[in-house]
Structure 1
């Protein structure tokens, strides 16, 4: 039996669960990452909510589930190029802002060019669905840049790796993920 937890800090959802208890609502890399957190106490602070995939995009989602945009975070996959070498990374910013790819990200990586990775590349590399990509369970070695506003937000809503669900977790926890770095001015 799957037990629901009513401890959602914002929004209007029918139910929520500890994310690790609902691998059916998570992309495989996300479920694996949460499973590896067992015994650390971190996994218990991550909730998952089952939602309508037709309203997975941020603006529609926030309206449908009464989630304030300033607690909704987006994870985007970036391709930074330098000397013919492409570095993939993920960047997380609040939905009220945009990742500054052309300046902050490019300079951070010392890249000649930085851009959003093509959708098919982002999906293939992460093992997650487009519109649900999350920093939890990223490929090993990928840099993760977290805007300081996200890290300072008590709880944020972000993708689960699938379009049909979302994670709710402390913003500070994103800054503790593997290869994470909090970056001032990442988003504007």
Structure 2
């Protein structure tokens, strides 16, 4: 049985608490067969933001992995990527990500667009369950962590994921350059 304990977070297998997952996240974890390999833990939505979660649960910044959505256009075609980046690093939006998307300028998606296109709550967006075809650029440092905290698609919970499973997300591309 997998243990889902990290800092002050003590979770249970995601399959036991589907009520704590956004619909696209539940669908993705089910399709990937990860409902027992990924944990979920309820939290107060008021402390869903990274810094508040880190402080409240005594977590190391490297174990908190943010999912940021970045977009740009090329020839009228909107291109979007998700970036999974540990909280102690920054996504290289204007370098690595821009080149990977093959756009002249890349920037974070506006809040409304991020929520609408992901089908998830702002502050809970995660790479599990994003639209097909979006690249998921995963910082190698995140994959190297034994267990990481990521969004669950809603602000009222977090996922506890073995770092290596991030490489199994559809469209995942693990690279050092995502967040040097």
Output the TM-score relative to the length of structure 1: 0.91
Distance 1:56 1:80 in 2: 27
Query: How many residue pairs get matched?
Result: 180
Select 1:185's aligned residue among 173, 177, 180. Answer: 177
Deviations 1:82-138 (A, max 9, x none): 222111110001000111101110011221111001111110011000000001111
1:33 paired with 2:28, answer yes
Gaps of 5+ in 2: none
Select 2:7's aligned residue among 6, 11, 26. Answer: 11
SS class of match (1:81): strand
Gaps of 5+ in 1: none
Matches within 5 A, 1:39-78: 42-78=34-70
Distance 2:114 2:179 in 1: 20
- Answer yes or no: is the 8 Å Cα contact 1:145–1:182 preserved in 2: yes
- Answer yes or no: is the 8 Å Cα contact 1:6–1:16 preserved in 2: no
Distance 1:166 1:124 in 2: 20
Alpha-carbon RMSD across the aligned residues, in angstroms, is 1.5
Distance 2:99 2:2 in 1: 42
Dislocated runs of 4+, deviation >4 Å: none
